[in-house]
Structures are given as structure tokens and as C-alpha cells.
Amino acid sequence: MPSFDMNTADSSQRHHSQKRSSKLRVGIICPYSFETPGGVQNHIRDFAQQLRARGYDVQVFAPGRRTADMPNYVQTNNSSFAIPYNGSWAHLSYFFNAGYVTRKWVRRGHFDILHLHEPETPSLSHKPLVMRDAPPMVATFHASIDPYPRALRLFTKYLRKYLVPLKEAIFVSEAAQRTAAHYLPDGVAVHTIPNGINRAFYANAEPNPAWQGTQDAPTIGFLGRMGEERKGFSVFAQAAQIVHQRYPNARFLVAGDGQEEGEKILDSLGASEQLKERFEFLGRISDDDKARFYAALSMYVAPQTGGESFGIVLAEAMAAGCPTVASNLDAFRSVTEQGESAALFVNRDAQDCARRICELIENPSRRKTLSEAGLRRSRDFDWNTVVDEVLQVYAKALS
């Protein structure tokens, strides 16, 4: 692990801290509100906790208002608005005094390094880039958008100039790097570092007996917001119709928000009452239950149709030893080593998805092979590995 003795740091950085400690003081800015769950927010929360567990002084700033379950190291500006973004809704903060409040938070924090997430987004993480007295700035880019949207195309030149102050750029995947390549300035050092997971948490999870399948009655899982088209529930439901015809005892366990939308999709597909009875909607589940969910499944299906830059659900399922079926998005191909640790199907093709599911039901040895391959692959996403790599980037930015 990189060790930072700030007494020996470059003298040009010393004015950023009035009281110099032996551990790095890190400010992290999130572009999205913590009031609503999301992959970027979860990544920032978990990463901050990992750094704090190592003794680093970490503070997080985000749009929106505080909620009871928010960590005490997260501060907010009490303002946000919602816009459609990349197939979902993003809760941002950009107008009025958002910039003033953000820059004030940076100055008061006396940070040694500032870590911005998605600074291309019109939100708080965009605001410190104009500061002349800011500490060294590192950015993580999460978004993967294909095709490259017109709105970003219009601002490409502006972003290329605005992002010049960045020292180092981190991409959670090659897909995210391809998107950011349109607007990232020349000369910014780039690194590909995946999202992190607590591998042991998933690997050691005890399966929930109520969700556990058998060879004769396999359980096939989906996790995601059913109201978001890009999460692929419609593809999953269509595949389930085909699988049910062949394996009427198969159960389909669905975790996440949107049961009403999910039921409407089943109705729109003309699903039989027998199939509907094989669906069980679990609603939003806790992190503990999510780990037990993966561990209990005969297989997990990730039918996302686009807008995925990484695929954290795949990494989690693989860490739990769960055989996985996934659409062949670029991000998912990368996470699964081009299909070495998951069964990939043609994106949006429900028949191909059902074919892969049936193949795994019929072939227990293939499920075991995928389970073992996923467990091996998940080591690359363990937080211990990811944090070490990010700290190396911090060291470069401070050098």
C-alpha cells in the first residue's frame, strides 16, 4: 500500500493544509444526490469507508439533502433537481449558489487532494475546476454512453478546455474511457481501475433457504429497477416465458424497485397465470439480503441493454459463486473476460438469453465451471486491490 508522509510532500502543496497529519486528507465530490440509490453514490460511499478504515481523513460532498441513513462524513448543499440522463434520472445541483458553496467546502476542508467523480456532468463535481487555489485534482469517469450523445458533442470543446486542471483521470472500464476520450484534454494521465466490491462479504454469504433452488426447481434471479428500460427486465420476462415452457418448475426471483412496472410488463407480454405464479417480487433488499440472494440462486441474469460502464452486479454475483448469464455489452464482456466467467447472450435477444439459461439448467458441470471462474475473476475487483491502485494515482498526482 502506498504510504503518504505529508511532511515530505512537495512544498507547493503544503499551503493546502493548516495542520499536517501523517495521513492523506481527501475530499471527494459526488455529482449525484445520495437521497436516491445509484452506482456512483454506492461506489463513493464504499470507497470512502475503505479509505477511512485505513486511517485516512475523508470527506464527501454531494447534492441534495441529508437523510437519516447518510454517513456522517457526507455533507450536502441541500439542493438538487432531476433530469433524464443515460436512460435513468440523475439528481444534480448546478445553478444559483452551487458553485460558491462547493468551492467554500473545498477551501474549508484544507484537502491534500480532491477527487472529482464525473466532472463532465453539470453538477457539483464540475465546480472546483475553476479554482486557482485548489489542491491537485483527480477524476473518476463512470459513464459509458453509446452512441455519443448530441448534448455532449455540443460541449466537447468546452469540456476539453474546462477539464485541463485535472492531474490524473481514472476510468472504471474501457467503455467509460472510450466515452471520455471525446472530451478529455491531451496530457491528462489515464488509468483504468474497476469499481470495487467487498469480495469476502459475498463469498462468505449464507444462501437464504427460501430462495435456494434445486436441479428440478432452479431459481433464476434478476436485480434492478424494473421501470428503467435499460435494466432489461422486459428481456428477462420474455426469456422467462420461453424457459417456463421447458421447465415449468423454475422460479424467477426479482429484487429491486418497480414491482408494479414489472407486473405490467408481464401483462403486456401476455404472460400466463402459471408463469406469473412462478415470479416472486422481493422489492428492494438490504446489502445482507443481496449477498444471500446471489448465494441462493441457481443462476443470476444481467439483461441490461445499454448505459452500463462496468457491471457491479456481475462482480458481486461472481464473488458469491453464482453462475451468471449476461448480455454481451462491452462493459460486461470486459468484466467477464470476454465470456470466460459468464454465459453471454446477444444484447436484447430474449431467445438467446433463454437459450443460455436452459443450457445452464441442463448442465450442472457448466454451472460449476462458471461459478469457479467467477470466483477467480472477482479477486480483481476486491476493494483492497482497487484502493491500492487509486492510492498510487493519488501519489502520482501529488508528486
Report how far residue 300's alpha carbon sits from residue 288's, in angstroms, rounded to the nearest whole number. 17
DSSP per-residue string spanning 265-310: HHHHTT--HHHHHTEEEEES--HHHHHHHHHH-SEEEE---S--SS
Average pLDDT over residues 358-377: 97
Q: What is the pLDDT of residue 4?
A: 52
Contact of 253 with 236, CB cutoff 8 Å: no
Does 133 have pLDDT greater than 60?
A: yes
Does 3 have pLDDT greater than 60?
A: no
Domains observed in the chain: 6-196+382-398 (3.40.50.2000), 200-380 (3.40.50.2000)
Q: What is the pLDDT of residue 8?
A: 37
Report how far residue 253's alpha carbon sits from residue 394's, in angstroms, rounded to the nearest whole number. 42
Residue 15 is classified by DSSP as G
Does 12 have pLDDT greater than 50?
A: no
Contact of 196 with 381, CB cutoff 8 Å: yes
- pTM for the full model? 0.84
Question: Which pairing describes strands 137-141 and 113-117: parallel, antiparallel, or unpaired?
Answer: parallel
Q: What is the pLDDT of residue 256?
A: 95
Q: What is the pLDDT of residue 15?
A: 39
Q: Minimal CA–CA distance to 44: which of 181, 172, 159? A: 172
Lowest mean pLDDT among 1-10, 192-201, 303-312: 1-10
259-295 pLDDT tens trace: 999 999 999 999 999 999 999 999 999 999 999 999 9
Report how far residue 25's alpha carbon sits from residue 44's, in angstroms, rounded to the nearest whole number. 15
Contact of 124 with 29, CB cutoff 8 Å: yes
Q: What is the pLDDT of residue 145?
A: 81
Cite the beta strand spans of the chain per DSSP E: 25-29, 57-62, 74-76, 81-85, 88-92, 113-117, 137-141, 168-171, 189-192, 219-223, 251-255, 279-283, 299-302, 324-327, 343-345
Contact of 308 with 232, CB cutoff 8 Å: no
Q: Minimal CA–CA distance to 377: which of 320, 297, 301, 330? A: 320
Torsions phi, psi for 127 (to 5 deg): -75, -35
Average pLDDT over residues 171-200: 94
**273 contact partners, CB below 8 Å, separation of at least 6:** none
96-116 in b/e form (b: 16+ CB < 10 A) is eebbebbbebbeebbbbbbbb
Q: Minimal CA–CA distance to 187: which of 166, 158, 171, 172? A: 166
Which position has the grid cell 469499481?
A: 195
Q: Minimal CA–CA distance to 378: which of 326, 325, 341, 339? A: 341
Report how far residue 221's alpha carbon sits from residue 294's, in angstroms, rounded to the nearest whole number. 8
Report how far residue 230's alpha carbon sits from residue 305's, in angstroms, rounded to the nearest whole number. 5
Burial of 214 (0-12, 13-18, 19+ CB in 10 A): exposed
Does 399 have pLDDT greater than 60?
A: yes
